[in-house]
């Protein structure tokens, strides 16, 4: 059987982003667990702010279609989100909104969310580690009828969380990341 394919999507474009760093640490753990992991940047899939008039005039942008198909080519997805004003940043919400508008031939709209599990993680310099963004993201994905695995990681004090090798320092964070990785792999295998 071919390797389980996991897609990791950080929700920040910022140079030195704590969430990109966490996504890289997660990708490493997925690879260690034997998964075939792809980590992308949403900077490679720029999208306009969702506008129904734009969709009516020009259709869904090619980047949204490509992203949806990339998700569809993986067995499980990890989203790593910053927290902006207690919620999900517009980059990630807008991306999800556009993807929900994609409908490929012989598929129902939103099928890509229903057919594979999602995991969520967040990183913030604050004490709560993006917990509120995780709640918001779980709600959004659940509204898309996605299976969102119970394990999640809110990385607190993210600016101090990594050693010089870009590995997580705190054993509790390391264990939470490993548990999330294991659970996403397990659920992905069951949903294959």
Q: Which of 4, 6, 8, 17 binds ligand FMN (CB under 6 A)?
A: 17
Asked if 110 interacts with ligand FMN (CB under 6 A), we say: no
> Residue 180 burial by CB count (10 A; 0-12/13-18/19+): exposed, middle or buried?
buried
Smallest distance from ligand FMN to CB 176, Å: 17
Q: Which of 30, 50, 84, 113 binds ligand FMN (CB under 6 A)?
A: 84
Q: Residues 120 to 159: which contact ligand FMN by CB under 6 A?
A: 124-126, 130
DSSP secondary structure letters along the chain: -PPPEEEEEES---TT-HHHHHHHHHHHHHHHTT-EEEE--GGGS--PPP-HHHHHHH-S-HHHHHHHHHHHTSSEEEEEE--BTTB--HHHHHHHHHHHT---TT--TTHHHHSSEEEEEEE-SSSSTTHHHHHHHHHHHHHTT-EEEEEEEEESSGGGSB-TTS-B--HHHHHHHHHHHHHHHHHHHHH-
Stretch that binds ligand FMN, among 64-72, 81-89, 101-109, 143-151 (CB under 6 A): 81-89
Stretch that binds ligand FMN, among 58-66, 80-88, 137-145, 161-169 (CB under 6 A): 80-88
Residue whose CB is less far from ligand FMN, 86 or 189: 86
Asked if 88 interacts with ligand FMN (CB under 6 A), we say: no
Q: Which of 4, 6, 7, 18 binds ligand FMN (CB under 6 A)?
A: 18
What residues line the site for ligand FMN (CB under 6 A)?
12, 14, 17-19, 82-86, 124-126, 130
């Amino acid at each position: 059987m071919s390797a389980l394919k996991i897609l990791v999507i950080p929700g920040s474009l910022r140079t030195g982003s704590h969430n990109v760093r966490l996504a890289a640490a997660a990708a490493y753990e997925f690879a260690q667990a034997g998964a075939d992991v792809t980590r992308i940047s949403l900077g490679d899939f720029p999208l306009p702010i969702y506008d129904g008039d734009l969709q009516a005039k020009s259709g869904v942008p090619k980047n949204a279609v490509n992203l949806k198909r990339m998700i569809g080519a993986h067995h499980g997805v990890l989203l790593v989100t910053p927290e902006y004003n207690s919620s999900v940043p517009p980059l990630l919400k807008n991306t999800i909104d556009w993807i929900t508008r994609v409908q490929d031939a012989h598929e129902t709209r939103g099928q890509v969310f229903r057919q594979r599990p999602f995991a969520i993680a967040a990183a913030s310099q604050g004490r709560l580690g993006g917990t509120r963004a995780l709640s918001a993201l779980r709600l959004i994905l659940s509204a898309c009828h996605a299976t969102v695995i119970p394990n999640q990681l809110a990385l607190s004090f993210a600016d101090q969380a990594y050693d010089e090798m870009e590995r997580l320092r705190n054993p509790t964070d390391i264990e939470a990341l490993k548990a999330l990785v294991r659970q996403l792999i397990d659920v992905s295998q069951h949903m294959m």
